[in-house]
Amino acid sequence: MWKMIKFVLLMILLGFSILGATIVDLELVVLDDDDSNATVSCGNNQYCLSSDGVFPGWNPKDKHPCTIERLSMENFEKRFDLQGGLPPLFPTPLVITDVPRDRNQRLRDLTSSHSILKNFPSNFTVTLSSSNSFSEHRRTIPFVQYLDEVATNVMTPDQKSNETWYFFGETFSKEWKKLLQHYILPPCQACQRDEQDTWVALSFGIGNSGSGVSWHIHGPGFSESIHGRKHWVLQQHEPEFHPDQTSYNWMYYNYSHLPESDRPLECTLNPSEMIYFPDMWWHATINLDDYTAFISTFTQEHLYVKQN
């Protein structure tokens, strides 16, 4: 288990070291609709604020395009079952749809907004991370308090990600391990469980509409939406962004001004759908619904290739 914790932390630190080269002094840009700046996409040294909130923007509750290849579970199995699942280090993102609802129904029942607290002691705490690219700040609070914040706090595009808190990733305790044992792993060759947790590390998260993690990079794996919808944007090259710019802010101000040809790949995961994110692809996520719960499977695909 400790081996997998170190593996996940190493992936995160690797992302930090790559991102560190992009840190610059923060420049505040107030976008006035009567100002020519209002049509300028913010670069990686700018943090965008609207002066009156009448920017074209981006609404999490809207329906959004999908430009990533989508395969139904049936067609996925026809294509990859003879290979034992998705091959390691698959080169492009892939969304798996039409997954039978009963596949992870047990976990879905246990993690609903009305049921999840029943899996933990009354004084159980969770560790939150700042939702910027580095996730370097930590805050530990009672789990019940975080769920209350999810239910009552309203996210806006003008919040800074280093000032917002998000629960994702630090789910390695015995309580979380007991809960996540009910999760059926994605259909990939490297998605295997063993007593030493050699091949996969599971991370569970919960957020409300507009929350998410800004642009970052790490190794390959899958993410599955358990409750609510989650939007993904991905690209191979480093995007223009500020590390303390939330994914909501980036979608609201930067994305909305990009020509379609310059936009990243994107897709919304509905409940039960999952996405494969390739090795070292830049990506950001934004939760669309008021209670969005999801689980990511980080895989040791380089090690799998080496040993097979």
Start-to-end C-alpha separation, the chain: 22
CATH 1.10.760.10 corresponds to the domain 2-307? no
- The model's confidence at residue 77, banded by pLDDT at 50, 70 and 90, is very high
Question: From CA 82, how far away is CA 105, in angstroms rounded?
Answer: 26
Q: What is the dihedral of CA 137, 138, 141, 144, to 10 degrees?
A: 80
pLDDT at 16 over 70: no
> How many other C-beta atoms are found inside a 10 Å radius of the C-beta of residue 78?
11
**pLDDT confidence of 243, banded at 50, 70, 90?**
confident
Q: Which of 9-13, 42-46, 231-235, 238-242 has the highest mean pLDDT?
A: 231-235
- Cα 174 from Cα 202, distance rounded (Å): 13
pLDDT digits (tens, 9 = 90+) for 178-219: 999 999 999 999 999 987 778 999 999 999 999 999 999 999
pLDDT for the residue numbered 64 = 97
Q: What is the mean pLDDT of residues 225-237?
A: 98
pLDDT, mean of residues 112-126: 97
User: pLDDT, tens digit, for every residue of 157-183?
Assistant: 998 877 788 899 889 899 999 999 999
Please give the DSSP secondary-structure letter assigned to residue 232. E
pLDDT of residue 221: 98
Model confidence at 151, pLDDT cuts 50, 70, 90, reads very high
**Does the pLDDT at position 75 exceed 60?**
yes
> Parallel, antiparallel, or unpaired for β 221-227 and 230-235?
unpaired
Tens-digit pLDDT profile for residues 36-57: 343 334 554 455 555 455 556 8
Query: Which letter, b or e, does each residue of 61-77 get, where b requires 16 or more Cβ atoms within 10 Å of its Cβ?
Result: eeebebebebbebeebe
- pLDDT of amino acid 41: 44
Alpha-carbon distance 180 to 183, whole Å?
Answer: 5
